[in-house]
Chain A
Amino acid sequence: DAKTTQPNSMESNEEEPVHLPCNHSTISGTDYIHWYRQLPSQGPEYVIHGLTSNVNNRMASLAIAEDRKSSTLILHRATLRDAAVYYCILRADNYGQNFVFGPGTRLSVLP
């Protein structure tokens, strides 16, 4: 699996937007970009995923660079509940594959 690089930690103020970056310069053409997050003492949960185009869902937006070597997860309005570790993971569109987790970015949200 191609490697991703994320900042170890980030801080945000409540109700402000948060941009979480991810670099993946060795991404291959078949790799999807997935974002999961893990709240304290819980299993990870799906946030969003994309291949080439920007994506929006009720939780977040995913902005993908034109060369696909980087992406940004955007939380439009951070809440205290968004404090978690966010993982950016690359995976080919393979139903049977597990996810390979890196260290992720620990997001702190300040009230």
Chain B
Amino acid sequence: GAVVSQHPSWVICKSGTSVKIECRSLDFQATTMFWYRQFPKQSLMLMATSNEGSKATYEQGVEKDKFLINHASLTLSTLTVTSAHPEDSSFYICSVNRASYEQYFGPGTRLTVT
């Protein structure tokens, strides 16, 4: 069964509004979760590393004030896209490490900003 869930699976919002995406680790505790973004026909790009109980680490070029990450518990990390614009439309995917060699990815959330 699924190890990582995301909610919602898709969302449409108006430009200027904020959207929250949840990532849940279903059957184990995850101190670290990763957030990726994938534009059409492109590969996954790491946005940030979410650490339970501390601030997220953002990749170069990712605005931390625009993409707010909260990892308040060992099973939940949230990504909030603030003041969304059409260029933020993308497929957002989270992942967790379960073993040293295996990373589980969520099913993804497709965000469309109109």
Contact = CB atoms under 8 A, between A and B. Distances in A.
Interface of A: 32, 34, 36, 38, 41-46, 49, 87, 93-96, 98-104
Contacts, number: 51
Can you list the 3 inter-chain pairs with the closest CB atoms, starting with the nearest? A43-B105, A101-B44, A101-B43
B108 A93 contact: no
A98 B100 contact: no
Contacts of B102: 46, 49
A95 B97 contact: yes
Contact of B100 (A43, A44, A93, A103): A93
Contacts of A46: 102-104
B110 interface: yes
Contacts of B36: 101
A103 B38 CA distance: 11
Given A94-B100, A96-B97, A98-B34, A104 B43 contact: yes
